Every structure is written in C-alpha cells, then in structure tokens.
Amino acid sequence: MGIKDKFKKEVKGLKDYIVLVTVDAKNYQKSNLEILSLLVNEQNTPGVYVTLNKPFDVMERLLKQNKIDSRLVIFIDGITRVSENKKRVKNCLFIGSPEKLSDISVAMDQAVKALPTKEKFIFFDSINTLQVFNKPGTVARFTYFLASKIREWKIKGIIISIENDSDEDLINELTQFCDAKIELRGNGKT
C-alpha cells in the first residue's frame, strides 16, 4: 500500500484530525511530499507548513519539482537564519530559530486564522528538530499545546516524527492526543 493510500485509509471518515506520522530518514522527504500532494493537489485544501528541517527555498523548490501548488501554503520557516529586517517574504515567515517557540506559536495561530476557508491543514515538520534545540519538558509542553490548538482550530493536523531519532516517551504521549499514528518505512511502503 502506498503512502497516500495508507494516509487516506487512516483518516477516512474524519473531517478534522491529528495524525502523527513516523517515518524513517530514508522515506522522510517522499512521505512529506506525498501527504502534501494529497492535501493540496487532490483535496484542494490550503494550509500552513511549519518547517524546522529544510529551509523555505528548498521546500519551495521541492514543491515545484513535485508539481504541488505552493501558492496554497503559508510557510513558517524556523530553520533559516535571517537578518532582523528580512523576516518575511510573500508567503513565508522566517522565525530564525527552532528555539523561538513563542514566535512559532503566534505565527501558527495567525497563519491558520488568516486562512478563510473551511478546510485547512497544519503540517508540522518535525518534532525531532524541536528536541534538538529545546529541553524535553519544553518540547512536551509545546506538543501538548500544538495538539490542543489543532483541536481548537478544527483543522487537519499532521505531525512528522523521524523514527529512531525521537524520545519514545514523547511519542507515546503525543500518540494519546492523535486520532491516528501512521508508520511509514522502507521503500515508500508502510
């Protein structure tokens, strides 16, 4: 079963959901792009992509290469270091560091609320980077905040976690808040 089919199967019948997607490093990029393609191209759903792993320009290029309409996505880039006066390009806000969790939270809230459509998504990529830059307690509080916000906003939430690189306790805790946990590994198969 392919990534898209597995994803569709897990969220079937759910209007709003939180899905924790655990991927192996090999499959990581492909999985992200396939899920994005499903949401943006097939379901015509706009959304917010929080990238803590790949800079915005790389993400934009990848989306273009995979024919995913990046115009429907607002990016929040937490990894690219930028100067104070160059924090914003048209559909992307550069936060500057994954440590700035308050700014990421405010940006997510503003971006989600700015989308006037009924259907929308938030794609959080990834929990692992947060763990590198922040204390475990802070990450746990942030993920709890993220899950509760996704419920409050009544949107589709996709949280990416890279396998073998995550704190098991955090993943177990996060799984409790999620409607589904999808494990994607090995050659694009589940």
Q: Site residues (CB under 8 A) for another protein?
A: 44, 46, 69, 71-72, 74, 87-88, 90-91, 93, 95-96, 99-103, 106-107, 110-111, 114-117, 138
Nearer to another protein, 29 or 138 (CB): 138
Nearer to another protein, 20 or 78 (CB): 78
CB of 137 to another protein, least distance (A): 13
CB of 31 to another protein, least distance (A): 24
Nearer to another protein, 43 or 175 (CB): 43
Asked if 154 contacts 3 with a C-beta cutoff of 8 angstroms, the reply is no
Sequence-distant (≥ 6) Cβ neighbours of residue 119 within 8 angstroms = 43, 45, 46, 155, 156
Nearer to another protein, 15 or 71 (CB): 71
Nearer to another protein, 46 or 157 (CB): 46
CB of 188 to another protein, least distance (A): 27
Contacts of range 162-165, beta carbons closer than 8 Å, 24 or more positions apart:
162/22, 162/23, 162/24, 162/25, 162/28, 162/126, 162/128, 163/22, 163/23, 163/24, 163/25, 164/24, 164/25, 165/25, 165/128
CB of 101 to another protein, least distance (A): 5
3-state secondary structure of 34: helix
CB of 25 to another protein, least distance (A): 27
CB of 113 to another protein, least distance (A): 8
Nearer to another protein, 117 or 172 (CB): 117
Asked if 165 contacts 129 with a C-beta cutoff of 8 angstroms, the reply is no
Q: Is 146 exposed, middle or buried (0-12, 13-18, 19+ CB in 10 A)?
A: buried
